[in-house]
Structure 1
């Protein structure tokens, strides 16, 4: 926390106390306290100190009592030493806001003689914007009504839990390369970010003037990307890595940062809760071809709860799974820069109820990759609506892709024959083709509204058309339930879902 001192000139009070000696008064031995400033000014929630009180008494010290507004905060006992020191700091509370807090430091010697030094702490208003500059190594709470600025790559480290209350806005400072800002939940750490339908938690860039209580940005277009990093959650669940190693470094985090490791052998690993989260304007580049996804899930376990997620204008993928077992329910991706949904390394959860709104920079709505090591597992994508763009493809299933893809409705894609292959769904590589033939890669109940003159075989390649059917626009019988996104998502508030 920010530590501010004003008027730090040490206050040195040396008072000679008088004692009665018969009818004649004589001065007592000296008791002194130095090192305590007379005043300081901070905002509510900030910390004053630490400062060191130096105490001395010729007759030997007995106690040092520290009082706040007349009530004792702490008592330090001594054993008759003639000098000692004590370090003191105080973190102000919301109750201290807009007031003067009076601290008294009272030293007493073995004869009962005392000396008192007073410190007046002026506490300002409750801070509503807080900059986070260091990793979170113990439990922390980010409070409703406040905005938190990520001053770098901030990691919640092993054993710590970050709680983000409903309505909080988190903004990443602008940066790229090693200076790209991001929030990383390391293995063994947890995030408890449970927004609510009327108070979503928003991750965005500092250039965004959005404030707590808003849903739509007042100044940013929904296609501006790459202004900060993104949110990365890492866990200990099984993943399929080349060479069958047990852990690797997540993409988007420099290898020098070991907090970027993920993978393990605990399929039920718990990384916490993400609910009603909107992630915007991210995807900063940390190196050639190495950007950060909007939401990265690396080896995340099945007891982690992820529901009601929105990713907007991310320079790389919207959501990418790297192995793990976590399932996601209700996700919307709008204007992703690369792929809307990307799966890798034998992720084995379920993505249930999703809407993908492809933009001018979206490569694939779906990019599905197979395992990289001998560990094999498969995932399911179900109940999705995919809205195309002339620049985008429905999906690429490659490198031994496997899994089940069902109840998905596609529309708005171009004629692949006129766009150099854009607008199709294809299987890449012999292993992917074999998996399709052998029932390891499955497609069920795919529906599409085709451009004029386009056939199912042109769009759904490699025989996948056998699991697809053509429907008129708006006559689909499969797809997402858009009601899950109403009210809290920018896409819904902006009218992007009105015609679904």
Structure 2
């Protein structure tokens, strides 16, 4: 292990110096491989890197990527992911013009595990448990009492073709997966592009995120559980095409929480002809609330959640679906689900219970519509462009 760490440190020093060799011209990208467990501070200069294996940033270590870098995994080498363990930090200093891109060689959705971060911010898992074990194959404990947990700063980052199952875990790896991450962490201008699971998923925690794009992910654009309670979220944009489930899948692991997350400026778009990820799983709604899920959403655009026909049966898409009676009774009726200033188009139903027995009636002021809603407002640039095409449509 000592020999490996020494080699990694020497390689890092070489990366840092090589990028500045030509002071009279543009920086030349360096090349290198990233693998193993990183236990000391490491800076990866602008370059093209190969990510091999499940790379882990250990507690006490900070890993930094400079703007413009590309990090490529290859599913032919086995399981790959970038994991930030609790106590470790990941700093990604991308810009709109020079984002940091994590991708996979085959460009096939579901080819690697994406970025996974663990913290010790509060959670409420099943049966109100304050800790839980991750289902991602890493078997990490998450949850705790540190609401201000700091896992680093991710700015202008794009993760492509993620969503692979790791080891013996269930398929709980997304482009970005945040386990009990805290308010000390910065998440800003992030793109989840064509993954085989969710674009972004939060397992409890208190972190907030701004300027998110979930584009072409097979499962849900945004998903959370375990009592996630981020309060300062803004500018979330989902574009679902070809294959995709809910725009947002929202649950609270069966706990009747009085708290809830807040998101302003939301756009959820579903292209005509988009089908659910798996046949028989009719998950075609913009917002789905279940297992006591809740939230406060303002200035919302919902477009394209229409009917879906499978075999001889046609299913109605909805802007808001309430999946079970406890969620309706505890969350809708107690004004813990709020969707205000919503502009809804090309969508079959505004509000729908999953069965005839679930009759949804929002209290006054908790579901309101507006013809002038604008939804997410995002800057353009290379951070939101793939193959010359803008992801903001």
Deviation readout 1:439-470 (Å, 9 max, x if unpaired): 1222211211135xx46456998235982437
Assess if the C-alpha contact under 8 Å between 1:363 and 1:393 holds in 2: yes
Larger Rg: 1
Assess if the C-alpha contact under 8 Å between 2:305 and 2:318 holds in 1: yes
**1:196 equivalent in alignment to 2:95:** yes
Assess if the C-alpha contact under 8 Å between 1:291 and 1:315 holds in 2: no
**1:183 equivalent in alignment to 2:67:** no
Correspondence 1:281-292 to 2 at 5 A: 281-286=161-166, 287=168, 289-292=170-173
Aligned to 2:150: 270
SS of aligned partner of 2:222: strand
Aligned to 1:431: 326
Assess if the C-alpha contact under 8 Å between 2:137 and 2:170 holds in 1: no
Aligned to 2:337: 441
In 1, distance between residues paired with 2:317 and 2:256?
A: 33
Aligned to 2:239: 357
Superposed CA RMSD in Å reads 3.3
Structure 2, unmatched stretches of 5+, are 22-27, 276-283
Aligned to 2:298: 406
**1:494 equivalent in alignment to 2:375:** no
1:373 CA drift (Å): 5.4
In 2, distance between residues paired with 1:329 and 1:245?
A: 28
**Is the alpha carbon distance of 1:487 and 1:148 closer, same or farther for their aligned partners in structure 2, counting shifts above 3 Å?**
closer
In 2, distance between residues paired with 1:230 and 1:92?
A: 23
In 1, distance between residues paired with 2:175 and 2:316?
A: 27
Q: Which has the higher contact order (CA 8 A, sep 6+)?
A: 2
Aligned to 1:368: 250
SS of aligned partner of 1:152: strand
**1:130 equivalent in alignment to 2:44:** no
Deviation readout 1:339-369 (Å, 9 max, x if unpaired): 1000111111043101100122211010000
Aligned to 1:478: 374
Aligned to 1:51: none
Aligned to 2:24: none
Aligned pairs, how many?
A: 360
- Paired residue for 1:206, among 105, 110, 116? 105
Q: TM-score, normalised by structure 2?
A: 0.82
Aligned to 1:469: 369
Following TM superposition, the consecutive aligned residue runs of length 4 or more in structure 1 with deviations greater than 4 angstroms are 90-95, 371-376, 457-461
In 2, distance between residues paired with 1:305 and 1:131?
A: 26
Correspondence 1:4-403 to 2 at 5 A: 46=11, 94=17, 128-144=30-46, 146-174=47-75, 179-207=78-106, 220=107, 224-255=108-139, 260-286=140-166, 287=168, 289-350=170-231, 351-372=233-254, 377-389=259-271, 390-391=274-275, 392-403=284-295
Assess if the C-alpha contact under 8 Å between 1:244 and 1:375 holds in 2: no
Deviation readout 1:33-73 (Å, 9 max, x if unpaired): xxxxxxxxx9xx659xxxxxxxxxxxxxxxxxxxxxxxxxx
Assess if the C-alpha contact under 8 Å between 2:121 and 2:146 holds in 1: yes
SS of aligned partner of 2:326: helix
In 2, distance between residues paired with 1:403 and 1:305?
A: 21
Assess if the C-alpha contact under 8 Å between 1:416 and 1:424 holds in 2: no
**Is the alpha carbon distance of 1:316 and 1:465 closer, same or farther for their aligned partners in structure 2, counting shifts above 3 Å?**
farther
SS of aligned partner of 1:151: strand
Structure 1, unmatched stretches of 5+, are 4-41, 48-89, 99-125, 208-219
Assess if the C-alpha contact under 8 Å between 1:302 and 1:326 holds in 2: yes
**Is the alpha carbon distance of 1:135 and 1:463 closer, same or farther for their aligned partners in structure 2, counting shifts above 3 Å?**
same
Aligned to 1:85: none
Deviation readout 1:181-206 (Å, 9 max, x if unpaired): 10000001111112111110001113
Assess if the C-alpha contact under 8 Å between 1:416 and 1:458 holds in 2: no
In 2, distance between residues paired with 1:92 and 1:409?
A: 44
**Is the alpha carbon distance of 1:93 and 1:429 closer, same or farther for their aligned partners in structure 2, counting shifts above 3 Å?**
closer
Task: Determine which structure has the larger strand proportion and give its number.
Answer: 1
Question: Bigger shift: 392-401 or 300-309?
Answer: 392-401
**Is the alpha carbon distance of 1:422 and 1:236 closer, same or farther for their aligned partners in structure 2, counting shifts above 3 Å?**
same
Aligned to 1:117: none
SS of aligned partner of 1:431: helix
**Is the alpha carbon distance of 1:289 and 1:191 closer, same or farther for their aligned partners in structure 2, counting shifts above 3 Å?**
closer
1:420 CA drift (Å): 1.6
In 2, distance between residues paired with 1:430 and 1:131?
A: 51
In 1, distance between residues paired with 2:267 and 2:353?
A: 16
Assess if the C-alpha contact under 8 Å between 1:341 and 1:365 holds in 2: yes
